[in-house]
Structure 1
Amino acid sequence: MRRIDASRTYRILESGPIVMVSTHDGVRPNIMTMGFHMMVQHAPPLIGCVIGPWDHSFAALHNTGQCVLAVPGADLARTVVDVGNCSGTEVDKFERFGLAMSRPAKVKAPLLGDCLYNIECVVHDDTMVEKYQLFILKAVAAWSNDARKERRFLHHHGDGTFTADGERFDLRDRMTLWRQFQVDL
């Protein structure tokens, strides 16, 4: 075994696919790229995400209590990075990157029509925001874009390198204890 710096832990445990966070501040929509998120519980579906006050989306999420988490396919990797390299205070990212918006059902932030999945969220708990910039979101609606040909999720390794999901293994028949969660997306 080779010892590595514990400060690199995030590069090992990056929780899941990169997501794009859509918000609306009452004037215009914005979007940011985010990798720091995690499932907190199944029911109701709660998601933890870190968005700091240095991000333009922070104020919109903090003030409105609403956002959309959109999961892009691997084919959007360059756009995901480019969106993360600029600020909504300086540019209309939807216009600059030609991202398609779709109408949400329960929140004011737009869905991202180019993404594989969209999850409409409301802030469920903000007690850890001041200390950790950690919002606990409750999923209130979810969408699947079945027309997308690229189905691989994009994972960031924290240093500008990415991987995309590859082969999937279906072991649902072995999940005897958690059958209630076996639903196709």
Structure 2
Amino acid sequence: MAKVLLDPSKATSMMYAGASTFVTCKDGDRDNIITITWQSSFCPAPAIVGISVTPKRFSYDMIKNAGEYVINIPNKELLWELHYCGYMSGRDVDKFKETGLTREPAHILKTPMIKECIANIECKICNVYPIADGLYSIFVAEVVAAHADDRYFDGSFWKTGETGGAELLHYLGGTKYAKLGETVDFKDAVKKAKA
């Protein structure tokens, strides 16, 4: 899988789908993978994104101390790994080792990317906002580099519906996920409404 380096502003388009993601973090010699379903893009230029993490998570202090993280977007083939990283703690296991996911050097950050993911977004933290009386924090970050496999992302949109298109995973709760599989265009709906 060959990934291309994109303008950081394209990262917000990668996140519009709201897919479940891996977030990698590194603090000193230790790194970890956390599954995140609460993430968002806030601004395209400069590209500003955010993730929500509870201080109870092992990754919370790692992310806060390092001041950076990488959002790694998987395709459906990584469902088992995505779910595993959401339910196991980095306090107890080396998630890279247990899942077989591969550390890949980031373009700018010290935090590793996940090689098997179809997109990676390198993020440098700008602000941390505690919410819900400190039960969670939103780590707001500027995208400093974005990478995507051009078989799945055309530089503006995820390719879907075609053979081999992106099938991003969306967490529904428990052990249930939905996958992105078809693109519909609002323009087609307008044409149909006017007909």
TM-score bracket relative to the smaller structure: 0.7 to 0.9
Q: 1:158 Cα shift?
A: 2.7
Aligned twin of 2:177: 162
Aligned twin of 1:138: 142
Q: 1:32 Cα shift?
A: 0.7
Cα distance in structure 1, aligned partners of 2:130 and 2:104: 31
Structure 2 contact 27–66 (Cα < 8 Å) conserved = yes
Structure 1 contact 61–67 (Cα < 8 Å) conserved = yes
Aligned twin of 2:192: none
Structure 1 contact 70–111 (Cα < 8 Å) conserved = yes
Higher strand share: 2
Task: Give the letter aligned to residue 171 of structure 2.
Answer: H
Gaps of 5+ in 1: 1-14, 174-185
Which stretch shows the higher mean deviation, 111-120 or 123-132? 123-132
Taking structure 1 as reference, are residues 57 and 100 closer, same or farther at Cα in structure 2, changes over 3 Å only? same
Aligned twin of 1:115: 117
Structure 1 residue ranges, 4+ long, deviating more than 4 angstroms after superposition: 147-150, 170-173
Structure 1 contact 122–138 (Cα < 8 Å) conserved = yes
Structure 2 contact 39–52 (Cα < 8 Å) conserved = yes
Task: Give the letter aligned to residue 78 of structure 1.
Answer: W
Q: 1:152 Cα shift?
A: 0.9
Gaps of 5+ in 2: 1-16, 153-163, 189-195
Taking structure 1 as reference, are residues 111 and 147 closer, same or farther at Cα in structure 2, changes over 3 Å only? farther
Aligned twin of 1:152: 167
Q: 1:28 Cα shift?
A: 2.0
Give TM-score scaled by structure 2 length: 0.75
Task: Give the letter aligned to residue 64 of structure 1.
Answer: A
Task: Give the letter aligned to residue 41 of structure 1.
Answer: C
Of 84, 91, 95, which aligns to 1:93?
95
Question: Secondary structure of the equivalent of 1:59?
Answer: helix
Aligned twin of 1:61: 63
Structure 1 contact 73–150 (Cα < 8 Å) conserved = no
Cα distance in structure 2, aligned partners of 1:62 and 1:137: 11
Please give the per-residue CA displacement for 1:153-181, whole angstroms capped at 9, x wherever unaligned.
100113331110111235689xxxxxxxx
Cα distance in structure 2, aligned partners of 1:33 and 1:64: 18
Cα distance in structure 2, aligned partners of 1:145 and 1:100: 16
Question: Secondary structure of the equivalent of 2:54?
Answer: coil
Task: Give the letter aligned to residue 161 of structure 1.
Answer: K
Aligned residues: 160
Q: 1:100 Cα shift?
A: 1.1
